[in-house]
Structure 1
Amino acid sequence: MSGLPGSKSEQGHHRLFDFAKTAIINIFAHPYTTVCELYCGKAPDTDKWEAAPIGHYIGIDTSSSGISCLGEAWDSEKKKYDLEFFEADPSTEDLESQLEKFVGQVDLVSCWRHLQLCFETEESARRLLTNVACLLKPGGYFFGITPDSSTIWAKYQKNVEAYHNRSGGTKPNVFPNYIRSESYMITFELEEEKFPLFGKRYQLKFSGDNASEDHCLVHFPSLIRLAREAGLEYVEIQSLTDFFDDNRAQFATLLMNAGPNFVDPRGKLLPRAFDLLGLYATFIFQKPDPDLEPPLKTPFEGGPFLKSSFTILQRELSGNTDTITPAEDSSKGLGKISEQKGILGPGPADLRFTEAI
């Protein structure tokens, strides 16, 4: 990457992330819905939601200065829907008392860049999901994007294996603490082979960016368990590369318009775009509606979001989930959720190992 300010190469990962948000919003947004965006920041996705058009937008962020800027910008524009902003931290505060009038009234709750930070502790992750369940009306969806911990951990395991092969096993208690590709570098704070449920911190730095991002790995089985305890049912966790493949007919043109060098003329992801998109996953949960018969309905007819894996998840979560370990050979069937594409497994098939390192 050139690293020049404003260069296309520097902004490539930002444009890919923006594409993914636009595509997901296009699926979920419907006329007159009430939308709540958690950690909306100084640049919420109000324009993306306007195309629906939605009926009401609620932005929640921890920054009072950001909320002030948003209010001023809103006053200078004419939107087709109502908008309100609130200063709060959904991972530490009880939103039921602060947003009392919206309890059980929100159709869609989105969280694009903060779920991974809530996995610093189990308490903060539980508080976030409890707040989401409180705001959603029955049948409403909670969704967003988070770094794909399955893929990240698989790449890390591959580094560990390669290191041990090179060192000939002479340093069995020493592990590399980084992942490097052409487009980014991930550095873990601690060198270890176990994937703890909470607090596994790392820094993500993209080529061309001066600063790194601080994250925690999201332990997907724990996310699903805590969501269920809060009253949210699992729908899907899917790599963005799989998401794109499942929806290529709808979104290939959208990605082509996002910038050059993302897809080939046939609409297939080019290697660099595949690497960047594969770093993230979309998550989808739903608050059950007791008036509707199961299974949960997908956001749109013919969509890919509902997988026949819920009973497998129940078996997976009933066992030991203290750490994520490599899956068994996927050719043996789909006995575990970790063996399925883009959900909880150790990432792409070519990165799977039959035994722990």
Structure 2
Amino acid sequence: MSQHAGPRAESTHHRLYEFAKAALTRIFVHPYATVCELYCGGGVDAEKWDEAQIGHYIGIDGSSSGISQRREAWESQRKAYTADFFELDPCMEDVEIHLKDQTNPADLVCCLKNLQLCFETEERARKLLFNVSSLLKPGGYFFGITPDSSTIWAKYQKNVEAYHNRSSGMKPNIVPNCIRSENYMITFEVEDEKFPLFGKKYQLKFANDISPEIHCLVHFPSFIRLAREAGLEYVEIQNLTEFYDDNRAQFAGMIMNFGPNLVDPRGRLLPRSYDVLGLYTTFIFQKPDPDVAPPLTTPLLHDVTYIQDEREWQVPVTTVWRDDEKSVPVEPPPGLGKISEQKGILGPGPAELRFSEAL
């Protein structure tokens, strides 16, 4: 794995994020695959596709400058793979119209940034997932990285609880809206103890960054429900610290290529790396292939588990929950075993239970 250069790669945050993207690419991407990258703008890490020996690349981004940068990055390479670029926002427009006669062209669809921006409204998230489904061949995977909303919300709720314990009711109508660590600060735009399913905005600012990033929390049960509606089956949502620990034997040497002071001599994440990486999660879905195996079944969850955890999320009492929104997996989904067998990296373990524990 090549050393990543550039000023953005100097910070711990960007170095760890680049590592996570490279690690996921190594797991899923196979030689000669057709890969579609959503929100591909920029060319900072474009070489990873060349290293993966893909056959064809489809880049989609809503920014004309982002598409231009990505195209220039491809043209400056050895051109070991062919490429198409489309300027469109996949959570606003129909991808099929732009791809014309190409039906299910991609073996893999990835979204390594900006998924959280699609959760501003349910309509945007639904459009994105239906576009993903239209892009994927049967049996293909949709994977990526997004801020871990369950981790962020748990930190926020702890702040709220600590504040109320300290204030002793002196200021009952004021809710703290910040999460702080030595590495970052998260500020919610609205001081509120409720977590709506869509549109919960916050700012994330890392210590070395000039300006904050604007995000929306991704409500994972809604993510799974909308994906299922689009014909995609849930495989796994796993915090990046657990993802790294589960695969440390494969990735400990690789992470050292992204700079010093990220892990200890035994390959364990140093506290600062753990703090930063823990803000993010992987997500994996699969489009079932009825010709190869029976369609994947969505894992059933006991409602009791979710009701107990609902206090942490503090969803408004006026919200009517659908049955499938209250479901969270208790056992490893069938699709996970397939990845383990094919890729030899993702293995079974307690991490598969994390989704029900964290929400």
Compute the TM-score of the two structures, normalised by the length of structure 2: 0.83
1:325 paired residue number: 311
Residue 34 to residue 317, structure 1, CA distance change in 2 (3 Å): farther
30-39 or 43-52, larger mean C-alpha shift: 43-52
User: 1:343 corresponds to which residue?
Assistant: 355
Secondary structure of 1:54's aligned partner: coil
In structure 1, distance between residues paired with 2:77 and 2:236: 36
Tell me, what secondary structure is at the counterpart of 1:169? coil
SS at match of 1:343: helix
Paired-residue identity, %? 64
Contact 2:288 2:295 (C-alpha < 8 Å) held by counterparts: no
Distance 1:37 1:148 in 2: 20
Q: Which whole-Å CA distance do the structure 2 matches of 1:72 and 1:273 have between them?
A: 32
Counterpart residue identity of residue 109, structure 2: V
Deviations 1:290-310 (A, max 9, x none): 0122475xxxxxxxxxxx982
- 1:157 alignment counterpart: 157
Structure 2 residue aligned with 1:179:
179
Structure-2 separation of matches of 1:105 and 1:336: 31
Q: For 2:90 and 2:182, how far apart are their aligned partners in 1? A: 35
Residue 95 in structure 1 maps to residue 95 in structure 2: yes
Residue 311, structure 1, aligned to residue 300, structure 2: yes
Structure 2 counterpart SS, 1:282: strand
Please tell me whether residue 22 in structure 1 is matched to residue 22 in structure 2: yes
Rounded to whole Å, the distance in 2 between the matches of 1:123 and 1:192 is 23
Distance in 1 separating the partners of 2:222 and 2:178:
24
The DSSP-based 3-state class of the residue aligned with 2:175 is: coil
Separation in 1, partners of 2:175, 2:353 = 27
2:271 corresponds to 1:285: no
Tell me which residue corresponds to 2:65. 65
Q: How far apart are the structure 2 equivalents of 1:316 and 1:43?
A: 45
Tell me the residue number matched to 2:47: 47
Q: Which residue of 2 aligns with 1:331?
A: none
For residue 60 of structure 1, what is the amino acid of its counterpart?
I
Q: Could you tell me how far apart the structure 2 residues matched to 1:276 and 1:125 are?
A: 26
Root mean square deviation of aligned Cα: 2.7
Question: Mind listing any 5+ residue stretches in structure 2 that lack a counterpart?
Answer: 1-5, 314-326, 331-350
Match of 2:252 in 1: 252
Distance 1:211 1:341, change over 3 A: farther
SS at match of 1:24: helix
What residue ranges of structure 1 are gaps of 5+ in the alignment? Answer: 297-307, 328-334, 348-357
* Cα offsets for 1:157-214 (capped at 9, x unmatched): 0000110111112323321001000100000011111111000000000001110000
User: Would the aligned equivalents of 1:148 and 1:278 in 2 still touch at CA under 8 Å?
Assistant: yes
The farther-off stretch of 132-141 and 248-257 is 248-257
Q: How many residues align?
A: 321
**Post-superposition offset of 1:79:** 1.8
**1:179 alignment partner, SS class:** strand
After TM superposition, give the deviation of residue 129 of structure 1 in Å: 0.2
CA distance in 2, matches of 1:252, 1:316: 38
2: CA distance, partners of 1:320 / 1:228: 22
Going by fraction, where is helix more abundant, 1 or 2?
Answer: 2
Q: Distance in 1 between matches of 2:175 and 2:357?
A: 22
Which letter does structure 2 place at the counterpart of 1:342?
R
- SS of corresponding position for 1:68: helix
